[in-house]
A and B are shown apart, each in its own frame.
Chain A
Amino acid sequence: MEVIVATVIATFAVIGLAYTFGMGRGFIDRFEVGRAALAEAQGRMEMIASRPASDTLCRIYPVGQYHMSYFRVDGRTLGTELWTVIWKDDPADNPNDPNQHDLREATVTVRFQHGEIPDSVRLTRLLPPI
């Protein structure tokens, strides 16, 4: 009887250990896509910052509408990339300022999925109005 109990416990221990190794590997792979997504979001943000407000890639859309592209690394599609630019009122100049277009606020979201778990990275940055 003791042998059977010991065997069952040992089996569970070994399976549990194997599961933790597999989980660790999965997390590292997921983290890899997360790092690539962050680099992509930073790159997109720099692209937006380098172009004038009139550029089609960073045109100001109504709330709820986004620019969209695929999140690709070396030709492989890993997710989607959404970005939006909106006007931002700077309260420092005058709270009752009729001109609400003091700054632009760019938000880039990269969505990806690793396994069955959806994940995303979001960056927001204030830009000059021009």
Chain B
Amino acid sequence: MTQWSGASGERGVTLTELTIIGVLATIVMVALTGFYMNSQRMWMDTSTKAMAQRDATLIVETLRQRVHEADDYVVDTDDAIHNSLTLSYKYNPTLVFDWDSSDSLIHIIQTGTDLGALGQTHVLRFELAPDGPNLIDLTLLEQRTATGDTVRIQSQFQLLGG
């Protein structure tokens, strides 16, 4: 704190100086708080988006691997935006990739037993389309992050197990 000795020997700061210091400090604190909040929000957005992208890739790569091994498939489009994929194998039990409304995640179901969800990011749309006897189009996989961003991906998978 500024101190001085005036002609009369008084020490301290005037009320005006104190007010100016207070106003400046408030401005700086408001700016820093705003910056901190913005940074934290951007950090959260970015982190959840990166996790959603990783989950999207996990789903696509799991589908690719399982479809490669399959020798037949059925796409169920009763629900237009949450399709279901049933894969048949020569020597293994049937697998179903199905969207579960209770947690909005894609689950793998093997002969009636839920093997668990793929990823942790909510799936908004899981749309598939048959493309001939040995090709499946993932026309859209759309996920929504915890902060409201969306991640979209699409691909095609070939059946090689036949």
Chain A residues within 8 Å of B, Cβ to Cβ: 14, 17-18, 21-22, 24-25, 28-29, 31-32, 35-36, 39-40, 42-44, 46-47, 49-50, 73-74
Chain B residues within 8 Å of A, Cβ to Cβ: 32, 35, 38-39, 42-43, 45-46, 49-50, 53, 56-57, 60, 64, 131-132, 134-135, 137-138, 140, 142, 151-158
Contact indicator B46/A32 (Cβ below 8 Å): no
Contact indicator A35/B56 (Cβ below 8 Å): yes
Contact indicator B142/A47 (Cβ below 8 Å): no
Q: Give the dominant DSSP class at A's interface.
A: helix
| A28-B49, A50-B135 as given contacts; A39 in contact with B153, CB under 8 Å | yes
The distance in angstroms between the C-alpha atoms of A43 and B152, with both chains bound, is 15
Contact indicator B158/A50 (Cβ below 8 Å): yes
B2 vs chain A, min Cβ distance (A): 11
Report chain A residues within 8 Å CB of B156: 42-44, 46-47
Report chain B residues within 8 Å CB of A74: 140, 142, 152, 154
A-B contacts, 17 listed (Cβ < 8 Å): A14-B35, A17-B35, A17-B39, A18-B38, A21-B43, A24-B46, A25-B45, A28-B53, A35-B53, A39-B153, A42-B156, A43-B155, A46-B135, A46-B158, A73-B153, A73-B154, A74-B154
CB-contact partner of A39 in B43, B131, B154, under 8 A:
B154
A123 vs chain B, min Cβ distance (A): 12
Contact indicator A73/B135 (Cβ below 8 Å): no
Report chain B residues within 8 Å CB of A42: 64, 155-156
Report chain B residues within 8 Å CB of A24: 42, 46
Report chain A residues within 8 Å CB of B43: 21
Q: A27's closest neighbor in chain B, by CB?
A: B46
Most interface-central of B57, B64, B135, B153 (chain A CB within 10 A): B153
CB-contact partner of A47 in B42, B50, B135, B152, under 8 A:
B135
